[in-house]
């Protein structure tokens, strides 16, 4: 019987690395390897910290700084190893530019050379290249395209080391835990390598083992890069983003990736939140065979979404699975806030049963509630070309400081996004929008917050896969129905206020925006008509809906007054015609007409009813069930009193104008709506 290793989590244990200046390092997790029951006494083994002093530690920039400040030779050696090829690359670019060769083909060759260079420099620089591929404010578009193709495939490390790690982490040799294990790794990446195996209970599994000495190699690079970021932020005026914060975000994510226990927990949480979605599959994690440096998970047989021929041979609709991935990503980013930050082709597999499987949960991130609401509002404002509202969203999302002068930025946003948006929502393309927006980064005081880097990475990567499958696929156009649905149905005060701001401007109700929201929301797969109705009525009869109730009452009174007056005038004219009475020009009353009578409020309401009626979830009994409750509400009675008051005022004003002041040419003033409380 195997006695498994146990994890000590949730408590901070201070432990010094075997060196004079490591008191700043704090151990946050430890793995205790238990001896194998019934085996011979184990031979003494060196502590893993003898090989890697940063093993088992969380990212701590102060501790890393304290460790390397007294290891000058190691730092200088690594700087030279990195700097020489980087300087050679930079010199080549400078000479090419000096010769006037700035063609797109030359720039693409340079971008390709940079990608290869980062791959050669090791895991930290591979990850930096991947992170830079999400930063349009830091990297030119041609380099962005090349860096998004960065592959982190590296030579495997020896099996003996991997098997020793399995024994140290899980408390028993591999052959006592697994019934079978592939003789060689089936994949090798920057942080670890994967074996295919089978448990004693028969389940086929993937066993991921971490590279030796990984933490120490990465921390040295992080130390150097953080120092460079600190210098650049303090000395280069053109850089407005907080590069040190970005490096710390980057370092924290890499250290989380190196903790396979954390990755297992991420996978379990991901399955709980999104595993129930249609056509989504999340592999099982075998927690009893998982530790910090070893992860055991269900083996997934699948095909990359980029292998279109193989998918077609299996009868799998790749475009449908891309749409499934987009809808899942929207719920990750905008609903629960816990999202997969690295959905590259190797981490999204099409299964034989037509489901989309997610893999590799090391790089995950979270979006806070206010950020989720801000993103929804920004998309809505962008689609509706409300650039004043969009500028305000950038302040909420921390792209701009609250004291920023928005007056020059609003027209700049209008110019940039009008080019990117095209004529309709169907033309929305995330890549073109980020490319256009990157130009503004250098002209205005925008700064991309650290949390947003992984959001861009996720969306750009996903759209890249989508475009490879279907060149006409537009992630944002597919996303907008979900965003519209959230805006109409989410009960949060933030989105209720945003909906009110969207639909009302300067006291006028913008019917076209409501029609646009309803049309797009009806395209969302989980659009719930009953929920829309419930949320609408809840908001309408709440204190926050007071202004809207007044506007509806005034619009109803205006429409009834117009229809009633028009009816009276028509009846009078018909009676005079039948009796043969002639009306003098002085006493003739012109029948009032509404401006743009072809698009009256009644016409707009009828169009909205038609949109709702055509929805698959429409049920007339929903309205019938709600009607008695609506009619008995105090707010409904108040609206009725306001309508009657307005009609009375209008009738009185018309009587004074048409009868008492019939011979007076002066024009009567506009009548203010009655107020009843």
Q: Quick check: helix, strand or coil at residue 356? A: strand
Looking at residue 285, the DSSP 8-state letter turns out to be B
Q: Which long-range contacts (CB under 8 A, 24 or more apart) does 343-349 make?
A: 343/458, 343/461, 343/462, 343/465, 344/461, 344/465, 345/304, 345/305, 345/306, 345/465, 346/304, 348/304, 348/305, 348/465, 349/300, 349/302, 349/303, 349/304, 349/305
Strands 280-281 and 356-358: parallel
**C-alpha span between 472 and 334 (Å, rounded):** 24
Q: Does residue 523 contact residue 617 with C-beta atoms inside 8 Å? A: no
473-506 in b/e form (b: 16+ CB < 10 A) is bbbbbbbbbbbbbbbbbbeeebbbebbeebbeee
* Residue 672 burial (CB count, 10 A): 8
Q: Quick check: helix, strand or coil at residue 498? A: helix
Q: Does residue 557 contact residue 647 with C-beta atoms inside 8 Å? A: yes
Name residues whose C-beta falls within 8 Å of residue 461's C-beta, 6 or more positions apart in sequence.
148, 342, 343, 344
Strand-pair partners of 356:
280, 350
Name residues whose C-beta falls within 8 Å of residue 83's C-beta, 6 or more positions apart in sequence.
none
Tell me whether residue 598 is exposed, middle or buried, using C-beta atoms within 10 angstroms of its C-beta: 0 to 12, 13 to 18, 19 or more.
exposed
Q: Indicate which residue of 56, 342, 386, 490 is catalytic.
A: 342
**C-alpha span between 643 and 525 (Å, rounded):** 39
- Let me know if 561 is a catalytic residue: no
Strand-pair partners of 351:
302
3-state helix, strand, coil in the chain (%, to 5): 60, 10, 35
**C-alpha span between 413 and 480 (Å, rounded):** 20
Looking at residue 57, the DSSP 8-state letter turns out to be B
Instruction: List active site positions.
Output: 342
């Amino acid at each position: 019987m195997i006695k498994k290793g146990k994890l000590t989590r949730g408590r901070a244990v201070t432990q010094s690395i075997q060196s004079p200046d490591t008191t700043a390092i704090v151990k946050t997790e430890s793995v205790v390897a238990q001896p194998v029951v019934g085996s011979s006494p184990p031979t003494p083994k060196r502590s893993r910290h003898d090989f890697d002093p940063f093993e088992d530690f969380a990212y701590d920039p102060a501790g890393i700084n304290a460790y390397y400040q007294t290891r000058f030779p190691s730092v200088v050696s690594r700087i030279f190893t990195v700097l020489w090829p980087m300087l050679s690359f930079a010199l080549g670019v400078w000479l090419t530019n000096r010769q006037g060769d700035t063609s797109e083909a030359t720039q693409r060759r340079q971008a390709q050379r940079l990608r290869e260079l980062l791959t050669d420099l090791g895991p930290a620089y591979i990850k930096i290249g991947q992170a830079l591929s999400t930063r349009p404010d830091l990297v030119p578009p041609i380099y962005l395209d090349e860096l998004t193709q960065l592959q982190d495939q590296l030579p495997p490390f020896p099996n003996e080391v991997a098997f020793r790690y399995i024994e140290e982490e899980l408390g028993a040799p591999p052959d006592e835990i697994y019934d079978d294990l592939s003789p060689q790794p089936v994949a090798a990446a920057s942080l670890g390598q994967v074996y295919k195996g089978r448990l004693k209970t028969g389940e086929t599994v993937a066993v991921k083992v971490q590279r030796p000495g990984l933490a120490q190699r990465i921390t040295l690079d992080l130390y150097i890069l953080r120092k460079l970021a600190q210098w650049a932020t303090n000395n280069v005026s053109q850089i407005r983003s907080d590069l040190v914060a970005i490096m710390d975000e980057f370092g924290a994510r890499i250290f989380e990736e190196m903790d396979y226990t954390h990755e297992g927990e991420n996978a379990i949480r991901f399955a709980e939140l999104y595993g129930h979605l249609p056509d989504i599959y999340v592999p099982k994690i075998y927690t009893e065979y998982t530790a910090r440096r070893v992860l055991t998970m269900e083996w997934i047989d699948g095909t990359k979404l980029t292998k279109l021929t193989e998918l077609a041979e299996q009868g799998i609709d790749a475009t449908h699975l891309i749409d499934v991935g987009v809808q899942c990503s929207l719920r990750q980013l905008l609903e629960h806030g816990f999202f997969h930050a690295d959905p590259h082709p190797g981490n999204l597999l099409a299964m034989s049963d037509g489901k989309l499987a997610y893999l590799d949960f090391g790089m995950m991130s979270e979006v806070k509630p206010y950020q989720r609401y801000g993103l929804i509002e920004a998309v809505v404002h962008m689609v509706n070309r409300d650039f004043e509202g969009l500028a305000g969203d950038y302040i909420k999302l921390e792209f701009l400081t609250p004291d920023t002068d928005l007056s020059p930025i609003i027209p700049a946003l209008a110019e940039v996004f009008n080019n990117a948006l095209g004529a309709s929502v169907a033309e929305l393309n995330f890549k073109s929008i980020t490319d256009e927006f990157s130009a503004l980064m250098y002209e205005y005081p925008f700064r991309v917050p650290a949390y947003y880097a992984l959001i861009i990475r996720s969306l750009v990567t996903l759209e890249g896969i989508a475009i490879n499958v279907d060149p006409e696929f537009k992630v944002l156009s597919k996303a907008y129905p979900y965003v519209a649905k959230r805006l109409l149905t989410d009960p949060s005060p933030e989105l209720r206020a945003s909906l009110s701001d969207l639909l009302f401007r300067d006291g006028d109700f913008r019917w076209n925006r409501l029609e646009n929201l309803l049309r797009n929301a009806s395209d969302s797969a989980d659009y719930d008509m009953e929920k829309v109705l419930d949320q609408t009525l809840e908001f309408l009869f709440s204190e926050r809906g007071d202004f809207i109730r007044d506007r509806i009452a005034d619009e109803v009174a205006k429409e009834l007054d117009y229809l009633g007056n028009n009816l009276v005038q028509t009846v009078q004219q018909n009676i005079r015609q039948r009796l043969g009475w002639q009306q003098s020009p002085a006493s003739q009353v012109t029948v009032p007409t509404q401006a743009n009578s072809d698009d009256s409020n009644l016409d707009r309401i009828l169009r909205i009813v038609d949109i709702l009626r055509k929805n698959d979830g429409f049920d007339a009994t929903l309205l019938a069930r709600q009607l008695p409750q609506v009619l008995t509400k105090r707010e409904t009675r108040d609206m009725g009193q306001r309508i009657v008051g307005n009609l009375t005022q209008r009738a009185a004003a018309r009587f004074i104008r048409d009868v008492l002041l019939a011979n007076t040419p002066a024009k009567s003033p506009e009548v203010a709506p009655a107020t009843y409380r």
